[in-house]
Amino acid sequence: MNHSFHHLQPDIILKKLERSLFAANLVFRKSLDSTNSLAKDLAEKGAPEGTVVLAEEQRAGKGRMGRRWFSPGYRNLLFSILLRPNLHPEQIFVLTMILALAAIEAVKERTGLSPMIKWPNDLYVARKKLAGILTEFSLKEGAVEYVVLGLGLNVNWNPDEGEKEISRPGTSILAETGIETSRNDLLIELLRLFEDYYLKVLSGRIDDVYKKWNELSLILGREVEIESPKEKIQGKALRIDHHGALIIQDHTGKEKKILSGDVSLRF
Ligand code: BTN
């Protein structure tokens, strides 16, 4: 393991977050199975809203659709946020959206890169994946009990180092800019931006979020193929609706609503 990269410094992160919602309970581990799994365990035991689980290394990082998330230790950002929002279950996706927006803006501010969103949960730079979000939640009596938002963001990793577990081309901030970025500063910025968005969402001001999200979407207006566990659908991506579903137009001109799946762009 290469330790020449700067380590995460939870004490500094906490200090700089000051009175942020996310300074309330920062749980840091050098190594754990998955920050999402620990955040869910803590949630079940009553951990407060705003709990952040942050790790240098995951032994069993989880991706969407049962996949793994691979990241070498000490290079990237791997964390999960626990929220207990008073939102309708149908609005959970908006939380994924604002985490994507906060990550994009933080990356832009710190590095000058302009990532785009690949529906539903990925950030891309130049046709390569920079980050992924895994959202997990629990409902109780039809209401949201808690939501765990996990972000894996490739920062100082050179994906060319030959990671065989990644089937699709991945990238990192270092690979795109040639410059090492402080993960501490990036995380602090990201959590600040996320908190602003979160307060907006809680107060019902989400039009702006949808607008920005649609503007940053890589797939809208393009021909796409969506693979879900059930089927493969082709069509033109039209828009994302207020529940985060993707609306596409198939070759007969009919609109279809897609709730989840894997999108490939037909370049
Ligand atoms: C995906 O692209 O499929 C989503 C990847 C999400 C990875 C992050 S890393 C931190 C958090 N903990 C996990 O186990 N997964 C998420």
78 CA from centroid of ligand 1 (Å): 7
- Ligand 1: atom nearest CA of 78 is 10
CA distances to 15, 89, 151, 191 from 18, rounded to whole Å, are: 5, 31, 22, 12
Mean pLDDT value across residues 91-111: 96
pLDDT > 60? residue 209: yes
Contacts of 49 (CB under 8 A, 6+ apart): 21, 82, 83, 84, 85, 146
Q: What is the pLDDT of residues 219-244, one digit of tens each?
A: 999 999 988 777 888 999 999 888 78
Residue with tokens 């596409």: 248
What order of strands is seen across the sheet that includes strand 143-153?
26-32, 52-58, 77-83, 143-153, 128-140, 122-125, 116-118
Binding site membership of 80 for ligand 1 (Cβ less than 6 Å): yes
Binding site membership of 69 for ligand 1 (Cβ less than 6 Å): yes
Candidate from 36, 121, 165, 171 with most ligand 1 atoms within 8 A of CB, to mutate: 36
pLDDT > 60? residue 167: no
pLDDT of amino acid 231: 81
Mean pLDDT value across residues 175-186: 96
Beta-strand pair 26-32/52-58: parallel
Mean pLDDT value across residues 140-167: 84
**What sign for the dihedral angle of Cα 153, 159, 162, 167?**
positive
pLDDT > 90? residue 212: yes
The residue nearest atom 2 of ligand 1, judged by CA position, is: 132
Q: What is the pLDDT of residues 139-152, one digit of tens each?
A: 999 999 999 999 99
Binding site membership of 16 for ligand 1 (Cβ less than 6 Å): no
pLDDT > 80? residue 189: yes
177 CA from centroid of ligand 1 (Å): 23
Contacts of 64 (CB under 8 A, 6+ apart): 121, 132, 134
Backbone angles phi, psi at 15, to 5 degrees: -65, -45
Mean pLDDT value across residues 244-251: 90
pLDDT of amino acid 4: 55
> For residues 13 and 184, is the Cβ–Cβ distance under 8 A?
yes
pLDDT > 70? residue 217: yes
Mean pLDDT value across residues 90-117: 96
- Ligand 1: atom nearest CA of 62 is 14
**Integer Cα distance of 73 and 87 in angstroms:** 35
pLDDT of amino acid 236: 95
pLDDT > 60? residue 118: yes
> For residues 136 and 144, is the Cβ–Cβ distance under 8 A?
no
pLDDT of amino acid 2: 45
Look up residue 225 and give its two tokens: 């193929």
pLDDT > 80? residue 165: no
Over the Cα atoms of the chain, what is R_g? 18
Binding site membership of 154 for ligand 1 (Cβ less than 6 Å): no
pLDDT of amino acid 1: 45
